[in-house]
Amino acid sequence: MEHRRPKTAAQWVSGLVLAAVAAGLWAAWLGWDQQRDVHPDGTTTGPYEAWQVIGLVLTLLLPVCWAASRGYGAGAVPGVTAGLTVSAAYDWSDDASGLFVVGVGMVMVGTLGVTAALVAVIAAVRRRGGAVPRR
C-alpha cells in the first residue's frame, strides 16, 4: 500500500474556500430573517423557518461532497464548521441573555459531527472505487 503525502496547501485553501461558502450560504438563507413571529396566543417562534435551515443544509451538501470526493475532506470539515460557527456567532451575538453561546456551540458540534460523518462516508466509497456493494 502506497502512502501519499497530504496536500497541505490544497487542504488549507479548500478549508478557507468552504468557510467562505458556508458563511455566504448562511447569509443567503438565514441572514436576512431577523424577526420573530408572534402568534395570537402570545408565543413566539423563529426567526428562521424550517425551510430556510433545510435549504442551507441541502445547498452545503454540494460543495462538501465535491471537496470530499476530490480528497479535500480534511479541509472541508473544519472549513464548513468554522464558516457556520462564525456566522452563527456574528448573527446571534446581540442576544442580551448570553444564551447565544449555547446555540453557537450546538451549531459547531452539530456541523462538525455531520460534516465529518459525510466526509468519512464519501472517503470510504472513494477508496472502494465508487462501487456500491450488491446483495
By three-state DSSP, how is residue 55 classified? helix
Q: Does 2 fall in a domain?
A: no
Is residue 118 assigned to a domain? Answer: yes
User: b/e string for 37-70 if b means 16 or more Cβ within 10 A?
Assistant: eeeeeeeeeeeeeeebeeebeeebeebbeebbee
Angle among Cα 17, 19, 20 to the nearest 5 degrees reads 65
Are 104 and 91 a contacting pair, CB within 8 Å? no
Residue range 11-26, pLDDT digits in tens: 899 999 999 999 999 9
Range of the domain at 81: 8-33+40-127
Nearest residue to 115 via CA among 69, 68, 51, 53: 68
Note the pLDDT tens digit of each residue in 56-103: 999 999 999 999 999 999 999 999 999 999 999 999 888 888 889 999
20 within a domain of the structure (yes/no): yes
Domain count, the chain: 1
The pTM of this model reads 0.84
Strands (E) located in 60-118: none
